[in-house]
Amino acid sequence: MAFDTRTLLRKPMADPIRMQKSLQKFGIPRPIRDTIVVGTKSVLAPGEETRRKAHAATAAVPKSVPMDVLKRDGAAILAGEHLPQAVPAALALQEFFGTLEQAGRVKKPDGHYKSDFLVRLAGNEEVLALAPVRDFVLSDELLGMASRYFDQVPVLSGVWFWWSPVNKSKAESQLYHYDGEDKSQLKIILNVVDVDENTGPFSFLSAPASEAVAATRRHSARLDDDLVNAAVGAEAVSRLIGPAGTVGAVDTSRCLHYGSRGNSRQRLILMLQFTRFLAPKASLPSWDLEAADLASEGLDDIRKMVLNLS
Ligand SMILES: [Fe+2]
């Protein structure tokens, strides 16, 4: 049997984040590092991007946002009637939060190096093992949206359950910034509790407004509110406010954003990250189907590609 070079992509030596760090040590500039990583992925998985592009046309056409609007703005608050899985997923996660509290797992991190305004309580297989969460994450609506947004079937790089405790800080990701895994990515954010102005809502600008603020997308940059407001006006910001089950789709590589700011009430969200297979700074996920309770599911081609199964 021929050796499958794709398996090498799961080894540390070909992991994009490790590769980036190693290349950085040699002083190789970022655009060249990205080219090397993308080239390595392409060589080890020949034809994979072409296959994913071909399958995108077969993905469901989403109804909760017009695709031309999502592609233009890079962000949208989704129409809930087309995502019936959202409220059950939020309710399941509320219950799960209670379980985590009882288990003593709802606490701020000990180390100073980690932010204490946004705490990852659980993620990936542990949350996918909750059936209503799995139904939401792998819904035709979201997978169709992600596939058509990139014009190729992406990978689900991560699923995270975030807790934002009451806080008064304004630092790091509480300031406007871009995420840097690729030139484009899609985050899906589900409000697990009711979110209002006092709950540190996920806040974002559209892609065109973001471009008007900052032509360069250096993801490490943190932008001051005054600078943003002077460029596009304070009314340009959208907030993911709404009852539990409200869902937003935001390309956090194209849209300036922040969250967990000024919480006088704690916030819980579920966040999904979809990235292109060839994303230069995203690891390829290796989902444990047993742990996610997906082993007995009949997964179609799109779901297999999203979960990065060959
Ligand atoms: Fe971010």
Q: In 3D, which of 116, 197, 123, 203 has the Cα closest to residue 164? A: 116
Query: Is 18 within the bounds of a domain?
Result: no
Compute, in angstroms, the gap from residue 210 CA to the centroid of ligand 1: 14
**C-alpha span between 211 and 217 (Å, rounded):** 9
Query: Is 107 within the bounds of a domain?
Result: yes
**C-alpha span between 262 and 251 (Å, rounded):** 23
Compute, in angstroms, the gap from residue 136 CA to the centroid of ligand 1: 22
Is residue 41's pLDDT more than 60? yes
Is residue 302's pLDDT more than 70? yes
Is residue 2's pLDDT more than 80? no
Mean pLDDT of 21-47: 93
Query: Is 145 within the bounds of a domain?
Result: yes
Query: Is 212 within the bounds of a domain?
Result: yes
Compute, in angstroms, the gap from residue 298 CA to the centroid of ligand 1: 34
Q: Is the model's pTM score more than 0.85? A: yes
The pLDDT of residue 11: 79
- Other Cβ atoms less than 10 A from the Cβ of 3: the count is 7
Q: Which domain holds residue 76?
A: 47-306
Mean pLDDT of 252-277: 97
Is residue 204's pLDDT more than 90? yes
Measured at the CA of 129, the angle between CA 119 and CA 303, to 5 degrees, comes to 105
Compute, in angstroms, the gap from residue 251 CA to the centroid of ligand 1: 10
Phi, then psi, of 186 in degrees rounded to 5: -125, 120
Compute, in angstroms, the gap from residue 204 CA to the centroid of ligand 1: 10
Where does the pLDDT of residue 276 fall: very low under 50, low under 70, confident under 90, or very high at 90 and above? very high
Average pLDDT in the chain? 94
**C-alpha span between 2 and 130 (Å, rounded):** 37
Query: Is 8 within the bounds of a domain?
Result: no
Is residue 131's pLDDT more than 70? yes
Q: What percent of the chain has pLDDT over 90?
A: 86
Where does the pLDDT of residue 221 fall: very low under 50, low under 70, confident under 90, or very high at 90 and above? confident
Query: Is 111 within the bounds of a domain?
Result: yes
Mean pLDDT of 5-31: 87
The pLDDT of residue 112: 66
User: Which residues neighbour ligand 1 (ion) by CB within 5 Å?
Assistant: 179
Query: Is 1 within the bounds of a domain?
Result: no
Compute, in angstroms, the gap from residue 46 CA to the centroid of ligand 1: 31
Compute, in angstroms, the gap from residue 118 CA to the centroid of ligand 1: 11
Q: How many domains does the chain have?
A: 1
Compute, in angstroms, the gap from residue 173 CA to the centroid of ligand 1: 6
CATH of the domain at 291: 2.60.120.620
The pLDDT of residue 219: 64
8 A C-beta contact, residue 68 and residue 305: no
Query: Is 21 within the bounds of a domain?
Result: no
Name, in order, each residue with C-beta under 8 angstroms of 95's C-beta and a sequence gap of 6 or more.
none
Compute, in angstroms, the gap from residue 193 CA to the centroid of ligand 1: 20
Is residue 22's pLDDT more than 70? yes
Compute, in angstroms, the gap from residue 33 CA to the centroid of ligand 1: 22
Is residue 216's pLDDT more than 80? no
Mean pLDDT of 63-88: 98
The pLDDT of residue 113: 62
